[in-house]
C-alpha cells in the first residue's frame, strides 16, 4: 500500500481526513484506520499519557499500514520535540504557539544542520534504521519532517500571519477549546469572536499557502470547516467514537427489551 507523505499532503489542495488517537494504541490501529479511509493519524502526547515507547510502537504499527503519523508533543521543550522526531514521527505538532519567534525555535529543534539545530542521530527509527552518507541523511530528514503548529491563544491569532510566514511551517492547526478559553468564551464556537479569530488564521494560511487543520466532532462540522478553508481534518477521537457507538448499541438493546417486556405484560 502506498500513501502520500504528510509534506505532499500539506502542499496539495483538497481534503486530508484523519483520526485522533488518545487511548487505544493497539498493534492493529494502523491497518484499522487505513482501511477506514484515513490518510493520517494524529497521535496525542499532550493529554493522553502516552510515553515515547508507546509512541514509537504506534508509529511502527502505522508504517506497516503506510499511514503517516503526526505526533503532538507534550510541550515545546527541545527534548520533547527531538525525541518524537527520533521515534520516527513524520509530522510534529506543537501546542500553544504564540509568536513567530516561538515557531523558529521549534523549527530549530525539529530540523537538522542547514535548517535547524537538532542533535544528530542517524540510522535509528526516524530513518528506518538505514545507514548512509551523513549529509544525505540530514537533508532527507529535513525534507520529510512536516511541522504543524497549534494556534490556540489570542496571542497566536494576533500573530498568525507572522507565524504562517515562517519558512518550514507547513500547517497551522486551530486548538478550538483552548482558543475559546483564551478568548474568554469557553466552548462557544458560534460566537462572533471565535469565528473572527479562526477566520484570521485561515486568511493567514491562504496568504502564505499553508495548510489549515482542526479536530472535528462530527461530519457536518468537518464539511462546514472544509468550506471555510480547513483541509487537514481529524474526524473525532478513538475514545469518543467508541463510547458513542457502545452507548447507542446499549440504549438500543434496552429500548428493544422494554418493548418486548411491555408486549409480554400486556398479553
Active site residues: 47
Query: Hey, is 58 helix, strand or coil?
Result: helix
Q: Which residues contact 110 (CB under 8 A, 6 or more apart)?
A: 81, 82, 85, 92, 116, 118, 145, 147, 168
Beta-bridge partners for 72 = 44, 93
Q: Which three cell numbers stand for residue 222?
A: 468537518
Q: Which residues contact 225 (CB under 8 A, 6 or more apart)?
A: 214, 216, 233
**H or E stretch at 42:** strand 40-44
Tell the burial category of 238 from Cβ atoms under 10 Å away from its Cβ (0-12, 13-18, 19+).
buried
Place of cell 523549527: 107
199-203 contacts, C-beta under 8 A, 24 or more apart: 199/228, 200/157, 200/160, 201/151, 201/156, 201/157, 201/160, 201/172, 201/174, 202/228, 202/229, 202/230, 203/161
Amino acid at each position: 500500500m502506498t500513501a502520500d507523505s504528510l509534506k505532499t499532503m500539506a502542499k496539495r489542495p483538497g481534503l486530508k481526513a484523519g483520526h485522533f488517537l488518545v487511548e487505544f494504541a493497539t498493534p492493529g490501529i494502523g491497518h484499522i484506520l487505513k482501511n477506514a479511509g484515513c490518510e493520517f493519524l494524529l497521535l496525542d502526547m499532550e493529554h493522553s499519557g502516552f510515553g515515547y515507547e508507546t509512541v514509537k510502537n504506534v508509529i511502527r504499527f502505522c508504517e506497516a499500514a503506510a499511514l503517516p503519523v503526526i505526533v503532538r508533543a507534550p510541550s515545546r521543550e527541545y527534548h520533547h520535540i527531538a525525541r518524537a522526531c527520533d521515534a520516527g514521527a513524520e509530522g510534529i505538532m506543537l501546542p500553544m504557539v504564540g509568536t513567530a519567534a516561538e515557531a523558529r525555535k521549534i523549527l530549530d529543534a525539529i530540523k537538522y544542520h542547514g535548517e535547524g539545530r537538532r542533535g544528530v542521530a542517524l540510522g535509528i527509527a526516524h530513518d528506518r534504521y538505514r545507514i548512509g552518507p551523513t549529509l544525505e541523511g540530514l537533508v532527507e530528514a529535513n525534507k520529510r519532517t512536516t511541522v504543524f503548529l497549534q494556534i490556540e491563544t489570542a496571542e497566536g491569532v494576533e500573530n498568525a500571519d507572522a507565524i504562517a510566514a515562517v519558512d518550514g511551517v507547513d500547517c497551522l492547526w486551530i486548538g478550538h477549546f483552548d482558543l475559546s478559553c483564551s478568548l474568554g468564551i469557553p466552548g462557544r464556537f458560534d460566537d462572533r469572536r471565535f469565528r473572527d479569530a479562526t477566520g484570521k488564521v485561515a486568511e493567514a494560511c491562504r496568504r502564505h499557502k499553508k495548510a489549515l487543520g482542526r479536530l472535528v466532532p462530527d461530519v457536518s462540522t468537518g464539511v462546514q470547516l472544509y468550506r471555510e478553508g480547513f483541509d487537514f481534518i481529524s474526524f473525532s477521537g478513538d475514545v469518543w467514537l467508541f463510547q458513542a457507538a457502545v452507548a447507542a448499541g446499549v440504549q438500543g438493546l434496552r429500548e428493544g427489551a422494554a418493548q418486548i417486556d411491555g408486549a409480554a405484560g400486556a398479553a
